[in-house]
Structure 1
Amino acid sequence: MSELESARIAPGGFKELGPVNWAIAKIGARAIRAPRFSLMNVLGQHRLLFLAWLPYSGMLLGMMSKLPVRDAETVILRVGHLRDCEYELQQHRRLARTRGISPEVQKKIFEGPDAEGLTARQRALITATDEFVVTRGVSAQTWARLAEHLTKPQLIEFCLLAAQYDGLAATITTLKVPLDFPD
C-alpha cells in the first residue's frame, strides 16, 4: 500500500478544498516546488479552520515573527526530530537551508544540546524545546538560560512556536499526511 493510499484523509483537490483553499494549496505547492502541498491539501478540507490556522502558522514562520528565522527553524527541526515526524522534517530541512542552517548544523540540532559546535543560544533553544515537548514545560534553570538570549515577546513566541509544531507533528502523524517529496 502506498503512502497516499494509507493516508487517513487523502489530500483533496478542488472539490474537497473549495476554490479559495485549492488556490492557496496550489500557491503553497509552487512555493515549495512540489506538485502538491499535502499538508494544505489535507487541512484545507476543513475550510474555515484552515483559513483561521494559516495566518497564525504563517506568522510563526516569519511573516511578522519576533524570533529570528534561524531560531524558529532550530525549534521546528528539534520538534520534528523529537516527534519523529518525517513530513515536518522533510519540509523544514529544506526551509532551514534557505535560512542559513546548513545540513551540518542540522545534524547537531538532531544530536541535541550537547553536540559540539553549537552556540550558547542554540543550546538554550534546543534544551528548552526538549523540555517543552517532553515535559510540557520548561524548568526555571532552562528558562533563565533561554531568557539570556530572547526578549519577553520572543519567549512568548518560543512557547507558541514549540506548541504549534508539536501539535502539528501529532496531527500530521495521526492523519498520515503523505510526504511531498520522494526523498
Structure 2
Amino acid sequence: MGIENESRITMARLSELPSGTREVIDSACERTGARHVFLTLARHPQLAVRYVRFGLELLGDGVMDDRQRELVILRVAWLCRSDYEWGHHVRLGKRCGLRARDISRIPQGPGHPGWSAEDAAMLTAVDELVHRRCVSPDTWHLLARGWDEKKLIEFLVLVGHYVTLAGLLNSIDIAREPGVEGFQAPAGKATEEPNEAGSWPTPFR
C-alpha cells in the first residue's frame, strides 16, 4: 500500500495499550521500523502479542540464513502484491547481504539465470506454495539434498506466515511509513505483468 492511503483499521496508540502488550509492540517497532503494522495488530492485544513474538522468532532466531530468508519473503511480497512487505524487506535484505542485482531479479522469479541452483530451487518452492499450496516432488527433492528437516519445516512456515501477513496488509490497506519505498518496475521481464494501466502490482481494489 502507498503512504497516502487511509487504512481500514485505525492504528492503536502505544500509550493506550496494556503494559505487557505495549512492551512487546514497542520493541517490535524499534527492531523492525514497521510501526504501522504492529500498531494496527495491537487493536487485538492478545493476538498481537502472540503473533508478533512468533513472527520475530522467524525473523531473527530461525535456522535459515538471513539472506535466504529475505529472498523468500521478498518473493512472497512480490507474488502477493504487498508493497508494504516488499519495502520493509528490501531494507532488511540489504542489511543481510542482498545486493541490488539480487533484489532486481526477484520479480523475474526462479528462472532468472543469475540464481544459484539452491536459490532457484528455493524460489521455485515459494512459487509453488503461493500458487498451488504444495511443493512439487521434484522441487522438494532438490531442497532436501542440502536442507535438513528443521530447515524444510521452517521454510514452509516462513512462506505461510508472510502470505498471511501480506493478506492482512493488503486487506486492511496498511500504509507504508514515510521513507519506505514500495514496488519499483524491474529491469527485464517479470513473471508477473503490469496491469492494464501500466503500473506495477497493487492489491485487487
Deviation at 1:140, TM superposition (A): 0.4
User: Aligned to 2:49, which of 33, 48, 51?
Assistant: 51
In the alignment, the residues of structure 1 paired with residue 134 and residue 167 of structure 2 have an alpha-carbon distance, to the nearest angstrom, of 18
Whether 1:97 aligns to 2:94 is yes
In the alignment, the residues of structure 2 paired with residue 20 and residue 90 of structure 1 have an alpha-carbon distance, to the nearest angstrom, of 29
In the alignment, the residues of structure 2 paired with residue 82 and residue 102 of structure 1 have an alpha-carbon distance, to the nearest angstrom, of 20
Residue 142 of structure 2 corresponds to 145
For the 8 Å contact 2:41–2:48, the answer to whether it is kept is yes
For the 8 Å contact 1:80–1:169, the answer to whether it is kept is yes
In the alignment, the residues of structure 2 paired with residue 3 and residue 119 of structure 1 have an alpha-carbon distance, to the nearest angstrom, of 35
Structure 1 unpaired stretches of 5+:
none
Deviation at 1:29, TM superposition (A): 3.3
In the alignment, the residues of structure 2 paired with residue 13 and residue 145 of structure 1 have an alpha-carbon distance, to the nearest angstrom, of 47
Deviation at 1:178, TM superposition (A): 1.2
RMSD: 1.9
Residue 118 of structure 1 corresponds to 115
1:141-178, Cα deviation, whole Å (9 max, x unpaired)? 11111112311110001110000000110011111111
Residue 19 of structure 1 corresponds to 19
Give the helix-richer structure, 1 or 2: 1
Structure 2 unpaired stretches of 5+:
182-205
For the 8 Å contact 1:108–1:116, the answer to whether it is kept is no
Counterparts of 1:1-183 in structure 2, within 5 Å, are 6-14=6-14, 17-32=17-32, 37-63=35-61, 65-182=62-179, 183=181
2:133 alignment partner AA: R
Deviation at 1:10, TM superposition (A): 1.7
Aligned length: 179
1:52-74, Cα deviation, whole Å (9 max, x unpaired)? 112211111122x0111111111
In the alignment, the residues of structure 2 paired with residue 5 and residue 83 of structure 1 have an alpha-carbon distance, to the nearest angstrom, of 18
Secondary structure in 1 matching 2:18:
helix
In the alignment, the residues of structure 2 paired with residue 15 and residue 146 of structure 1 have an alpha-carbon distance, to the nearest angstrom, of 46
